[in-house]
Amino acid sequence: MMQIRCRALAAFVALFLFGISGNARGQAGLAKLSDKVIDEVSASGSTTLIVRLLDGEREQAPQARRVKNRQRIATELRTAGVKVSYEFQSIPYLIAKGGSRELNVLAGHSEVEAVTADVPVVGHLGESSTLIGADVVIDTAGFDGSNTIVAVLDTGIVAATTPGQFTSHPDLNDSVILTKRFLDQGSTTGDTAVDGNGHGTAIAGIISSNGTVSPRGVAPGADLVILKVLNDDLTGFISDVAAAVDFLFTFKNTNSRFYAANLSFGTSEVFTDCPCDPTAPGELSILNDAINALSSRGISIVSSVGNQGSFAGATAPACFSSVLSVGAVYDDAFVQAPATGSFASFAGGSFADCADTGPPVDRIPCFVNRGACLDLLAPGYLITSATIGGPAPASGTFFGTSFAVPHVVGSIALLKGKSGFFYPLGNLIFELISKGIFITDIPPPNGTGAIFKRVQVDASEPFIPLNFPPPNVNETGTSWSLYE
């Protein structure tokens, strides 16, 4: 009853605020606006607007015709005074800025389906490559990820000091082939992606470091596309991530070697439904739709489950059905982790307020979100990788589910580098999971007692591409979880 009264009050405030005339048009227009976007405009006067457009029968039309139609709608909205900052190519969305006047225009446009607000995201801040068998695949089998491209959506990469290079870090200057940035809710874009944090550089190093300064990466032969979607304080927005994913949809047109995207971040909120697509807030639809579009082209999107220590959920986008979700394990034995205090006191409030005593190799750290949405585990505690810092090129030590994800992305590059075009990506990922090492979580109350899989890439390598595809696996890579 209280929810009904709150929604009725929000509707009353919106009608008063936006002045939508005519009962039918007013009610229909108001239904397009999410409660969150109404609240934000009411509180601040202006906000970022995520606008979903009606494609209607054009859903089955060629991509070029659909894009042209969306451009027409964007032009109409600009003419009406709406400040459109980004138009999507792969999905029927655009990003705009505005307040009550702009909401009035959008609510009254017949080809606008919904208007929602933006959602913040945060980064999920040596022995690891050996533990998962990457060294065996590289040194014995002779496959290092060459002829593959993976994308890293994060805080960027160490800036270049030499003309013609994308980065000056000697571990990565032969790997990075493209940089771009998508920041500030569509208003800051460009061809540079300078990392002022170190998180993104570390992720890139775990995937593709050549081993000059920091340890060799999982797939040192893989090429990297670096997309800066997080600010240097490790914060960003769903709209910018979706814009970067949309860019990759077009990038695939001319880059057939592109196979995977690393998303080592997520929402602050943990979602307990798995998958969370049907029940997640409408504000997340833009990213879910963009990921579905990219996944439909055979690209694996890999994301971290988060560090809140939930036994029943994951953050978004890891909880989306088209995302391969990754948690962390220890890659060495420790007396105590962290060395003093708890993970929350040591690393900040985004981590669970817990600590582990005497964790052995392959134990799941207490901060890892786990449950039905967790597809795969990988090393994620005290991982040494490239980072920022100078004037000399730097390496550093990191932990969190963020740093487990690139171990899986690098493994995909290793296997895809061997199998080339002849093995569907969805089947390859099924192979990666099914050949993983069984890891049993500690029993309640400090764990779940559940059994998960940890990536073991050298166990999969001999079977690629000799196996026939396993049954019931989607070739686009959208259905691979063993826990569905």
What one-character-per-residue DSSP string does 139-166 give? III---STT-EEEEEES-BPPP-STT-S
The alpha carbon dihedral of 473, 477, 482, 483 has a sign of negative
pLDDT per position as a tens digit, 254-273? 999 999 999 999 999 999 99
Give the number of residues written for the chain: 484
Q: Determine contact, residues 122/61, Cβ cutoff 8 Å.
A: no
CA-wise closest residue to 439 among 362, 368, 385: 362
- Looking at residue 391, what is its pLDDT? 59
User: Residue 22 above 50 pLDDT?
Assistant: no
pLDDT at 467 over 60: no
281's CB contacts (< 8 A; 6+ apart) are 34, 36, 119
Q: What is the pLDDT of residue 464?
A: 63
Across the range 211-235, mean pLDDT stands at: 94
d(CA 367, CA 319): 17
Quick check: 186 and 85 in contact, CB under 8 A? yes
Please write the tens of the pLDDT for every residue from 428-461.
Answer: 888 889 999 999 999 999 999 999 999 999 988 7
Lowest mean per-residue pLDDT among 59-63, 103-107, 226-230, 298-302? 59-63
Three-state SS string over 396-459 comes to: EEECCHHHCHHHHHHHHHHHHHHHHHHCCHHHHHHHHHHCCEEEECCCCCCCCCCEEEECCHHH
Would you state the pLDDT for residue 64? Answer: 80
Query: Within its chain, how far is the Cα of 94 from the centroid?
Result: 19
CATH class of the structural domain 2-117: alpha beta
Q: How confident is the model at residue 167 (pLDDT cuts 50, 70, 90)?
A: confident
pLDDT tens digit sequence for 306-324: 999 999 999 999 999 999 9
To the nearest 10°, the Cα dihedral for 471, 292, 240, 385? 10
91-105, 278-292, 462-476: the lowest-pLDDT one? 462-476
Q: How many CA atoms lie within 13 A of 473 on its CB side?
A: 22
Positive/negative CA dihedral, 163, 169, 170, 171: negative
Do domains 2-117 and 121-463 share one topology? The answer is no
As given in the structure block, the two tokens for residue 394 are 């730097």
What mean pLDDT is predicted for residues 69-95?
93
Average pLDDT, the chain: 85
Q: What is the percentage of the chain residues whose pLDDT exceeds 90?
A: 63
Please tell me the CATH superfamily of domain 121-463, with its number: Peptidase S8/S53 domain (3.40.50.200)
Rg of the Cα atoms in the chain: 23
Q: Residue 407: pLDDT band by 50, 70, 90 thresholds?
A: very high
Give the start-to-end residue ranges of the domains of the chain.
Answer: 2-117, 121-463
Residue 220: predicted pLDDT: 96
Give bridge partners of residue 84 from the DSSP assignment. 96
Least confident of 110-119, 160-169, 371-380: 160-169
Report which secondary-structure segment, H or E, holds 203: helix 199-208
Q: What percent of the chain has pLDDT over 70?
A: 86
Write down the residue that tokens 């080339």 correspond to. Answer: 420
Does residue 189 have a pLDDT over 90? no
pTM assigned to the model: 0.88
Sheet containing 235-237: which strands, arranged edge to edge?
235-237, 120-123, 265-266
